Structure 1
Amino acid sequence: MKSIYLIYITLLGTMVFNSSCTKLEEEFRGELEEGSGEIVDPAALLTSAYSAFNTPYQQEQRWVLQEISTDAAMAPTRGGDWDDNGMHRSIHLHEWNADNGYMNNTFVSLGTLIFNATNVLRFNPSEQQAAEARFIRAVATFDFIDLFGAAPLREGESLDDFRIPPIVMNPDEAMDFIVTELNEAIPALPEGSPKTAYVASKNAARALLMKVHLNRGTFNNRQSPTFDPSDMNQVIALAKEITASGNYSISPKGKYFDNFAPDNDQKSTENIFTLYNENGIRGGAVDRTWNTVAHYNMNPGGWNGWCTLSDYYDKFTDTDERRGIYYEYPADTTSNRKLSFKRQNVGFFEGQQYNWSTNKPLMARNPSNAALKFTREVTIRTSGATLETAGIRPLKYAFDYASNGQRNNDWVVYRYGDIILMQAEAILRGGNGADSEALALVNSIRTARGVPALNTLTLENLLDERARELYWEGWRRQDLIRFGQFLQPWQEKQADPDPKTLVYPIPSQQIPVNPNLTQNEGY
């Protein structure tokens, strides 16, 4: 029998990894006995499957494709920085092609995630371990369909014989596969709670099922999405099951950022499924949420890159805590907390920035005599006096000073606020329930965030509420497509002349190694 390690290397080659040795390969070698084909510990394989989420999700790869392609985020080229051969610019401008590195890296990472999860199922896992693996595989399959409109899958003989290419599911096939997988897995999954959100649970599976039913008609026809009442009723029923579990509630006023804090596994009331991050134990890369936006002279210094756009920022009112507050949390060891400076430390950073240890205004680096004031105005190519300061910077995950930057914040994938908003949307789109019920659901969130209740609920202001509630959580592109807005113009992006951009191309590197893949129309 071939060693499982050699099978894994074959898979990596098939999926076009571009280096001969990767960290993922090294970790896998430590978990399997080379040559024997015997599993060392099925739990270790499952941990590897969970860990494979980190790279595409934590403000990288999948996140970039879901957010930088929208009005919520931009990665402007700053002089010579952040150029990357136009890779970031093309995503925001919708001018990408099948050679974009982000698309290939995301495709490979999602494929690795599916393989790691499927591999768990081969080695006599417990019922719960098998159910968790099936959930992980379902999440990655959903992302494949959302992003690329096709989902490759190795099962059966193709797992042992890599001369057999993976099958490729179309959207309908993939949605049916996910629904079957999750419904069969749910009985063996734990109920779940915010304190154990890093483990797949019944409620995490229900959250994913809600997204499947809500987006089914969109994935089948992105130019003219449809919303079957039976799908909408499934969304509503699943939301009610999650609520009835009694394990989740909308964070009370002033506690929105508990969901993203370094100790969010202890204090969140909303988190349903998260990615585990613990300094020295497991996880990593959540520090990108800080590094990608922070200026060099902030504490700590970042890479001075990504930002949001002023039209998006203007969707928030002054009293909306989601826009930004001083958030007091134990892992803030700066004088901002110890001496009660109480400068804003989460949310959207706009205008003059301050040193949270001295309370003095920060200065830019070049020129060093310029105040560090983040401006509303930003262009996709920046230069001159605002090279370092252009663009409003969002930070949702409070920095973990207590662990020297090795951040313990668990990354949020599914959250109860999203469940409530999806339930309201399903009612508006023809599911069971009155419009007044949908309005009450949305206003329950708004009241908790410190903003006045809406008098009426429409699809337009519901989309805006999703923009406010879920900013930079990796859902904006999917929302804009479902609401028919993704092809529209916004700041630094013209209207799309071709609806091909509603789905990304199959990366050009992937088609030669899987004859079952067909390039998407227009690419």
Structure 2
Amino acid sequence: MKIKHYILLTFIGSLMFTSCESDLDVELRDPNITLADEIFTSEEAYRQALSGVYANLSLTSLTGPGDSNIAGLDPGTGQYMRGLFNLQNLSTDETIFTFENDPGIRGVQRNSVSSENVLLRGVFSRAMFSVALSNEFLRQSTDQLLQSRGIPTGEFAKFRAEAKVLKALSYYHLMDLFGKAPYYDETMEVGFTQGEELSRTELFDLVEGLLLEARENLPVGNTSDYGRIDQGVADMILAKIYLNSEVYTGAPRYTEALNKCEDIINAGYSLVSDYQFNFLADNNTNGAQNEIIFPIANDGQTTQNFGGTTIIIQGQVGAQEQNGESLGVNPGGFGGLFRLRPQFAQKFTQNSLFVNDGRNLIISENRPIELEVTDPNTGFITTKYSNRTSSGGFGADRTFTDTDFPMFRLADVYLMYAEAHLRGGGGDAGTALNYVNALRERAFGDNSGNINSAQLSLDFLIDERARELYWENHRRQDLIRFGLFTGNQYIWAFKGGPETGTSIDGFRALYPIPAASLATNQNLTQNPGY
């Protein structure tokens, strides 16, 4: 089952889920058991069902990119990766969205969201829909049901482990962004139970438990088919929650974070020779597949959607440059949708050292670095992602991109190891330095950008993470962990509202629970400050 080319939503369509505005209000148009017995008639049907759980990370509906199976939401707004990009990147120093009157945008990018914000509802609903799909697969794949349907158990321990990791992934995102979520598992009746609220610490325990349980039945890291979950993916989410444990639970777990980074590194992943290969239309075959620990599939023909790398690449195109052709899309793209905030651009432009940094994919010519939100010709732009291949060809479609989104990469693991070491997690100082310099040597093509041990500090790492990982859905989490997101220690353009930026209150380190979810699940409570 190669997820890139075999994504089917048979499971979603056959069970006829319609995720509504609540956290998990799903409609079953026919009795579940009757439908299930008609659907799950072979191992192949189960494989398609599991593909459907993966597909929820890419697609928005069964009927094409213009529709959504999240009721009441624009298809783009409800796409999983677009939602993460909005909440993790658009809320920070990395980028600005030109068309600020689009629903929900102003509140997110000026850090003034309310519980009515439609972008929050999109992320919360899509993540809970993923939980529902994972639970349904687990419900239908017990040994008892498999035996009653005459289906050999074979690989089902692995299939179930994959579903558990996908469930843990969505709960991880909910824990990170919202700090609470309702609990559902495969033993609970679909659509009729109001899940009990889990606190952030309880969510942490749930995510950790699911991952540790699933890990034992997964292939070792970097051995599964491209795009499928193995131990490397489980270890990556564990490393993430351990690195952020002090934020999530108040208890530091940097030693566990470092140990998980070592497990991933020892699994045999490797850096691709060219940084940008990670973000090209053939990143599933050009060598980047050995660096990308978990991709979210994008295919211009089979996974068409207005999120993922489609909106990123189309949105990178400059309004005045009309440079879409060089990025493998139509010349005008989406009309100058995204630009860089000056504080991020300066991490490359203020020091002449970074002129030759291969990660410096900024276009600045004939552009002021300062932004006017509604003027797409102000502010620098970037060409980090592309719908071109490593040989210069195009993706399969000029609107919908082939470029897989690298949710997790080995480069991040190297930087996490160094950070966990500096925060007291153990490890070796020389090893940490070598990992950082491996990324610098790739970026510069030689050792001219290497640092020494005295330069390796937390202040260095937060900027280096920005240069290496921008637009990969890590920035808000990173700024919070470093104490730079709220308050006034770090101000960027339009932070908190005004062009010059301002301090924002500490409660905004969490997003509010969407009002629609509060209305339909009386067990949920609002986060403080909202």
Give the TM-score band, short-chain normalised. Answer: 0.7 to 0.9
Moved more, 194-203 or 107-116: 194-203
What is the aligned counterpart of 2:424 among 422, 427, 430? 430
Please list, as runs of the form range in 1=range in 2, the aligned pairs for 1:31-70 lying within 5 A after superposition.
34=35, 38-39=39-40, 41-54=45-58, 60-70=82-92
Shift of residue 273, structure 1, vs aligned partner: 0.4
Query: In the alignment, what sits opposite 1:477?
Result: 476
Query: In the alignment, what sits opposite 1:129?
Result: 159
| SS of residue in 2 equivalent to 1:430 | helix
Query: In the alignment, what sits opposite 1:105?
Result: 122
Is 1:420 the counterpart of 2:449? The answer is no
Moved more, 173-182 or 281-290: 281-290
Please list, as runs of the form range in 1=range in 2, the aligned pairs for 1:293-312 lying within 5 A after superposition.
293-295=316-318, 297-298=322-323, 299=325, 300=330, 301-303=332-334, 304-312=336-344
Code of the residue aligned with 2:117 in structure 1: it is N
Deviations 1:301-343 (A, max 9, x none): 212211111221121210110012xxxxxxxxxxxxxxxxxxx
| SS of residue in 1 equivalent to 2:382 | strand
Query: In the alignment, what sits opposite 2:182?
Result: 152
Deviations 1:240-288 (A, max 9, x none): 1212222x12233xx1111121111112131000112234334644311
What is the aligned counterpart of 1:378 among 359, 371, 385? 371
Is 1:513 the counterpart of 2:501? The answer is no
Distance 1:520 1:419 in 2: 31
| SS of residue in 2 equivalent to 1:234 | helix
Shift of residue 428, structure 1, vs aligned partner: 0.5
Distance 2:35 2:54 in 1: 22
Shift of residue 14, structure 1, vs aligned partner: 4.2
Specify whether residues 12 and 319 from structure 1 end up closer, same or farther in structure 2 by C-alpha distance, changes over 3 A only: same
Query: In the alignment, what sits opposite 1:262?
Result: 281
Shift of residue 438, structure 1, vs aligned partner: 2.2
Distance 1:491 1:14 in 2: 34
- The answer to whether the Cα contact below 8 Å between 2:283 and 2:403 also exists between their aligned partners in 1 is yes
Shift of residue 196, structure 1, vs aligned partner: 3.2
Query: In the alignment, what sits opposite 1:395?
Result: 383
Distance 1:190 1:426 in 2: 26
Specify whether residues 35 and 178 from structure 1 end up closer, same or farther in structure 2 by C-alpha distance, changes over 3 A only: closer
Query: In the alignment, what sits opposite 2:391?
Result: none
Shift of residue 4, structure 1, vs aligned partner: 9.6
Specify whether residues 482 and 142 from structure 1 end up closer, same or farther in structure 2 by C-alpha distance, changes over 3 A only: same
Specify whether residues 402 and 277 from structure 1 end up closer, same or farther in structure 2 by C-alpha distance, changes over 3 A only: closer
Query: In the alignment, what sits opposite 2:62?
Result: none
Query: In the alignment, what sits opposite 1:314?
Result: 346
TM-score by length of 2: 0.78
* Structure 1 stretches lacking a partner, 5+ long: 325-347, 352-372
Please list, as runs of the form range in 1=range in 2, the aligned pairs for 1:94-493 lying within 5 A after superposition.
94-124=111-141, 126-160=156-190, 162-193=191-222, 196-221=225-250, 227=252, 231-246=253-268, 248-252=269-273, 255-266=274-285, 267-268=287-288, 269-282=290-303, 284=305, 285=307, 286-295=309-318, 297-298=322-323, 299=325, 300=330, 301-303=332-334, 304-316=336-348, 317-324=354-361, 348-351=362-365, 373-380=366-373, 382=374, 387-400=375-388, 401-405=394-398, 406-450=400-444, 452-455=449-452, 456-487=455-486, 488=488, 489-493=491-495
Distance 2:170 2:49 in 1: 17
- The answer to whether the Cα contact below 8 Å between 1:114 and 1:153 also exists between their aligned partners in 2 is no
Specify whether residues 458 and 259 from structure 1 end up closer, same or farther in structure 2 by C-alpha distance, changes over 3 A only: same
- The answer to whether the Cα contact below 8 Å between 2:221 and 2:264 also exists between their aligned partners in 1 is no
Distance 1:194 1:127 in 2: 17
Deviations 1:104-124 (A, max 9, x none): 111111111111111110112
Distance 2:24 2:161 in 1: 29
Shift of residue 220, structure 1, vs aligned partner: 2.8
- The answer to whether the Cα contact below 8 Å between 1:196 and 1:265 also exists between their aligned partners in 2 is no
Distance 1:443 1:10 in 2: 48
Code of the residue aligned with 2:51 in structure 1: it is T
Distance 2:186 2:34 in 1: 22
Shift of residue 397, structure 1, vs aligned partner: 2.1
- The answer to whether the Cα contact below 8 Å between 2:95 and 2:341 also exists between their aligned partners in 1 is yes
Shift of residue 433, structure 1, vs aligned partner: 2.5
- The answer to whether the Cα contact below 8 Å between 1:16 and 1:509 also exists between their aligned partners in 2 is no
Shift of residue 398, structure 1, vs aligned partner: 1.4
- The answer to whether the Cα contact below 8 Å between 2:139 and 2:186 also exists between their aligned partners in 1 is no
Specify whether residues 158 and 194 from structure 1 end up closer, same or farther in structure 2 by C-alpha distance, changes over 3 A only: closer
- The answer to whether the Cα contact below 8 Å between 2:89 and 2:474 also exists between their aligned partners in 1 is yes
Specify whether residues 302 and 10 from structure 1 end up closer, same or farther in structure 2 by C-alpha distance, changes over 3 A only: closer
Query: In the alignment, what sits opposite 1:370?
Result: none
Shift of residue 96, structure 1, vs aligned partner: 1.2
Distance 1:156 1:122 in 2: 5
Percent identity, please: 27
Moved more, 387-396 or 102-111: 387-396
Deviations 1:355-398 (A, max 9, x none): xxxxxxxxxxxxxxxxxx44312123x3xxxx331122223221
- The answer to whether the Cα contact below 8 Å between 1:421 and 1:442 also exists between their aligned partners in 2 is yes
Shift of residue 437, structure 1, vs aligned partner: 3.2
Specify whether residues 6 and 490 from structure 1 end up closer, same or farther in structure 2 by C-alpha distance, changes over 3 A only: same
Shift of residue 193, structure 1, vs aligned partner: 2.9
Specify whether residues 302 and 374 from structure 1 end up closer, same or farther in structure 2 by C-alpha distance, changes over 3 A only: farther
TM-score by length of 1: 0.79
Code of the residue aligned with 1:259 in structure 2: it is N
Specify whether residues 402 and 503 from structure 1 end up closer, same or farther in structure 2 by C-alpha distance, changes over 3 A only: closer
Specify whether residues 283 and 127 from structure 1 end up closer, same or farther in structure 2 by C-alpha distance, changes over 3 A only: farther
- The answer to whether the Cα contact below 8 Å between 2:293 and 2:410 also exists between their aligned partners in 1 is yes
